[in-house]
Structure 1
Amino acid sequence: MENFIIHKAATRGVANHGWLNSAHSFSFGSYYNPERMNFGVLRVLNDDTVDGGRGFGDHPHDNMEIISIPLEGDLVHKDSMGNEAIIRKGEIQAMSAGTGIYHSEFNKDGSAPVKFLQIWLYPNKRNVTPRYDQVKIDTAEKNIFHQVLSPNADDAGVWIHQNAWFNMGKFDAGAETTYQLNDKKNGVYAFILSGNVTINSQALAPRDGMGIVADSLTIKAGTDAEILLMEVPMEV
């Protein structure tokens, strides 16, 4: 059995704060849509553009797995755990907020914007000791998916307190591949970073999202494309 939902890019909630332009795939801040609260444990998928020299000051989180993926430019990160880092395109950051953290993120460049995905997942363990993880990701080889996040500290990419797997891939026009789920009870939320793609025969364009529950995914790039797959438990 296969079930799916498609979120076209133009239907996302939009918040333009002047220095921050954010598109919300799910309800967030002033954007509330009762039909878009989450996809399984995937609670937030924000597509953020931050002006040069601007950013998010110190603010708190708890009991959430927080993932940042820079798409363009560099982010300066500081947190109450004592971490200070620069997160660049080609890297992924994960934080387990657990019992509570404060952190800030700013655009390192004084003039050019920084673009990144901010993703929140509900954890499978509450009140864990907060932790920080940041690694480089290698997606240079085309037409395959590269794992960038998992539940396992020894696997490729960052790890989090959740039975989730993220994969990213760049595909040439006409390339076709399949994705087999790590856990058959999970679903997959696909986010198209660029290009035109079909997933299980459903057409998707840049910044479209598709949540799907199926045994496997058949993915074909109609143009050169870049894709993020987020495999997540469906029970919160």
Structure 2
Amino acid sequence: MSTVEVINNEILKAPRTRIIQRQGPFTLHINLPGFNLPEPSDHGHGPLALIVESTLEPGTHIRLHEHTNDEIISWVPGGVMRHNDLTVGELVVDDRHLMVMNAGSGFWHEERVLSSDPYLRMLQIFVRPRAADLEPRIQFGEMPTGRPNEWRYLFGPENSDAPFFVRNDVKFFDIRLSNGSVTALPPPPKGWDSYFYVFTGQVLVDGIPFGEAETGLIRRPSRTVVSALEDSVVVCFSINPNAPVVRLGTVGK
């Protein structure tokens, strides 16, 4: 099923996903990091199970439902996603706030976009936890202020210096690049891999073009240069491919 393009035996590039689920006004474009490998044996890559580009039209209501054994991150670069659950209550996730649902043994929530809200395009990231049936909890708060053309570290493993955490070896960064700017992917720890997703715009990664919704996997990377061909938003993950994982999640098995 892989449509990966291997470049210099280093960058494993995949086009915009063809795995799309349409549920009326709610559409999911499902990105499977494991499918960036030429011969995938797993839809995920280590603890990173999948990335869902979700679009919600104004007036969409996703009714109360349960998640178990998933670490679910809601990243909203524009617009609002209105969350409600049985424990914390109502929260609004937007371009200033991040939410991490450590579902553990079980967590119920619902999501909605009001008819007066703008069209929403966001990422929901599913991380496999290190163990089954951990204590459920929710993290919600303001993200660090982002600076143009600088990576912003948003979540990492427990006891890391990130402002939010997941219960496995995954780090997550985002960046807003201006046209013509040049940077490098965040360097992962030794033995870890990098996986990136172009949310908007077009960039060159070590000279290779990547457009909107295209992804790249780099196994044990050295310094990787990113050049913006236009204003762009990119996210990047550092992943320990050998981390112990539990494949029991409601979504991210």
TM-score bin (small chain): 0.7 to 0.9
Matched, 1:170 2:176: yes
Tell me by how many angstroms 1:133 deviates: 0.8
CA deviation vs aligned residue, 1:137-179 (integer Å, no higher than 9, x gap): 2454111101111124563431111121111111122211123
Q: Quick one: distance in 1 between partners of 2:167 and 2:214?
A: 27
Within-5 A mapping of 1:151-162: 151-152=157-158, 155-162=161-168
Matched with 1:196 is: 202
Contact persistence 2:55–2:119 (CA under 8 A):
yes
Give the letter aligned to residue 71 of structure 2: E
Tell me by how many angstroms 1:17 deviates: 2.2
Contact persistence 1:139–1:168 (CA under 8 A):
no
TM-score (norm 2): 0.81
Q: Quick one: distance in 1 between partners of 2:210 and 2:124?
A: 21
Give the letter aligned to residue 38 of structure 1: G
Contact persistence 2:82–2:111 (CA under 8 A):
yes
- Equivalent of residue 231 in structure 2, options 221, 224, 232: 224
Matched, 1:185 2:191: yes
Give the letter aligned to residue 181 of structure 1: P
Instruction: Classify the secondary structure of the residue corresponding to 2:185.
Output: strand
Matched with 1:30 is: none
More strand by share: 1
Within-5 A mapping of 1:38-117: 38-110=44-116, 112-117=118-123
Contact persistence 2:203–2:229 (CA under 8 A):
yes
Give the letter aligned to residue 98 of structure 1: G
Q: Quick one: distance in 2 between partners of 1:117 and 1:152?
A: 21
Instruction: Classify the secondary structure of the residue corresponding to 1:206.
Output: coil
Tell me by how many angstroms 1:109 deviates: 4.2
Q: Quick one: distance in 2 between partners of 1:202 and 1:103?
A: 40
Contact persistence 2:80–2:117 (CA under 8 A):
no
Q: Quick one: distance in 2 between partners of 1:230 and 1:138?
A: 17
Matched with 1:7 is: 14
- Going from structure 1 to structure 2, the CA distance change for 1:115 and 1:160 (only over 3 Å counts) comes to same
How many residue pairs align between the two structures? 229
Q: Quick one: distance in 2 between partners of 1:60 and 1:132?
A: 14
Report the identity percentage: 21
Q: Quick one: distance in 1 between partners of 2:160 and 2:187?
A: 19
Structural RMSD (CA): 2.3
Instruction: Classify the secondary structure of the residue corresponding to 1:72.
Output: coil
Q: Quick one: distance in 2 between partners of 1:124 and 1:2?
A: 30
Contact persistence 2:185–2:236 (CA under 8 A):
no
Q: Quick one: distance in 1 between partners of 2:159 and 2:63?
A: 29
Q: Quick one: distance in 1 between partners of 2:191 and 2:43?
A: 20
